[in-house]
Chain A
């Protein structure tokens, strides 16, 4: 019995496109959640309360020092076990099966959050102190100061770092194929295995990722120009 299919690239185009879509979905969700985590982390690292600072520093330092693949494997099992334990503790009936998608997004978001913390923290620190002091002098509340001065002021400094993190995230989504989750690279591996055209399919994978990263770079460049509007041409913000 010869089970090896003689399908070619066209037959696999559909599943590969689906895989690419899944990759993008995971990337976007993880990035968004990671961004929120990063904002929280950066604020925590800059807070006057020492335990909060320490916790945030430990989070960002530990996550950034450990290889991503190790982290992803560890968090995948730890995360799903923790979530299951949590839902059982909350008394929800039956077995709550956390989908692989949620776990993958959670893991990647957790890792992104650590890197994002550092980028945002650096960007916030680069805001000229005078602007913050002026806000205080005018009697802005902490929240108003945050969303009126800090965030707009931090964005120009943060965009290059955030753009870099997005590119790294897209590439890191390939790592979750190692834990058997079906995204673009896993699908490509299946195609390569069943058609034996490894060179072709791995090249295709490279091209698709390249398309994603190049498009993202162009989009982020436009975003940066928009965010920097009104700033003098050479100012670093």
Chain B
């Protein structure tokens, strides 16, 4: 087992760059994806029927096609169309549009949005209408009811599933190495190419991902604990007979 390249600052810099890019991508995709998921769920529940159909179609397509195909579709397919738009290459957003990070983030946000959208929609549906009505009866505006009662209760229900979705997101990140983004896998590939080692760099990356998965799961489990109602209640329930 040859791990000598770990001491070489030349390779260390690539590994570090890959690691930071990976973390950035996860953060952007998770936040953007979950926001999109909430939006999609609400649109399906409350929006006009045609919109709900479109979103259902979108979700089916995102869940029915491989993520790798989606990445290529956006980076090489859609990206190519965007670049053909006259004037866009001189515009301010061009540095963003020519960067694979943008397309990677876009694909992951849409993917997380589609998968988590289903989860959140189910969770929103499971919150008893009575609780929302009580909120309105107390004089809260619909927006307040949503953000302070309905959504938190829904998330509380589906947090374990969302945790699973986040772990799945983490495991999908290495795919961006195929669209020229410098992530951990690309850094490992550089080391593999130059040192002609097959296993060692990949094993290091696998180990890093394992560690990230453990950390992520622990953090999210802690978050679960902090949600009111997730901890088993001690003693009697507040209202006997009511669940």
Q: A residues touching B (Cβ–Cβ < 8 Å)?
A: 62, 65-71, 73-74, 77-78, 167, 170-175, 177-178, 185, 188-189, 192, 198-199, 202-203, 205-206, 209-210, 213-214
The answer to whether A192 and B172 touch across the interface, beta carbons within 8 angstroms, is: no
Number of B positions contacting A (CB below 8 A): 36
The answer to whether B199 and A67 touch across the interface, beta carbons within 8 angstroms, is: no
Can you give 25 contacting A-B residue pairs, CB < 8 Å? A65-B209, A65-B210, A68-B171, A69-B175, A70-B185, A70-B202, A70-B205, A71-B206, A74-B199, A74-B202, A77-B199, A167-B63, A170-B66, A171-B66, A185-B68, A198-B80, A199-B77, A199-B80, A202-B69, A202-B73, A203-B77, A205-B65, A206-B65, A214-B60, A214-B64
The answer to whether A66 and B210 touch across the interface, beta carbons within 8 angstroms, is: yes
The answer to whether A185 and B73 touch across the interface, beta carbons within 8 angstroms, is: no
Q: B residues touching A (Cβ–Cβ < 8 Å)?
A: 60-61, 63-70, 72-73, 76-78, 80-81, 170-175, 177-178, 185, 198-199, 202-203, 205-206, 209-210, 213-214
Please report the C-alpha to C-alpha distance between residue A213 and residue B173 in the assembled complex, in whole angstroms: 22
Residue of A nearest to B173 (CB): A67
B214: chain A residues within 8 A (beta carbon): 65
The answer to whether B66 and A67 touch across the interface, beta carbons within 8 angstroms, is: no
The answer to whether B61 and A210 touch across the interface, beta carbons within 8 angstroms, is: yes
B80: chain A residues within 8 A (beta carbon): 198-199
Main secondary structure of the interface of A (DSSP, over half): helix
A172: chain B residues within 8 A (beta carbon): 66
The answer to whether B66 and A174 touch across the interface, beta carbons within 8 angstroms, is: yes
Q: Choose from B77, B170, B173 the contact partner of A202 (Cβ within 8 Å).
A: B77
The answer to whether A174 and B68 touch across the interface, beta carbons within 8 angstroms, is: yes
Q: Choose from A77, A202, A213 the contact partner of B76 (Cβ within 8 Å).
A: A202
Residue of B nearest to A189 (CB): B72
Residue of B nearest to A172 (CB): B66
B174: chain A residues within 8 A (beta carbon): 67, 69-70
Scoring B68, B170, B172, B199 by chain A CB atoms within 10 A of each residue's CB, the highest score goes to: B68
A213: chain B residues within 8 A (beta carbon): 63-65
Residue of A nearest to B64 (CB): A213
CB distance from A85 to the nearest CB of B (A): 14
Please report the C-alpha to C-alpha distance between residue A70 and residue B209 in the assembled complex, in whole angstroms: 10
CB distance from A5 to the nearest CB of B (A): 18
The answer to whether A178 and B178 touch across the interface, beta carbons within 8 angstroms, is: yes
The answer to whether A177 and B68 touch across the interface, beta carbons within 8 angstroms, is: yes
The answer to whether A69 and B66 touch across the interface, beta carbons within 8 angstroms, is: no
CB distance from A31 to the nearest CB of B (A): 16
Please report the C-alpha to C-alpha distance between residue A175 and residue B206 in the assembled complex, in whole angstroms: 17
The answer to whether B81 and A206 touch across the interface, beta carbons within 8 angstroms, is: no
Please report the C-alpha to C-alpha distance between residue A177 and residue B72 in the assembled complex, in whole angstroms: 12
Scoring A67, A170, A177, A192 by chain B CB atoms within 10 A of each residue's CB, the highest score goes to: A67
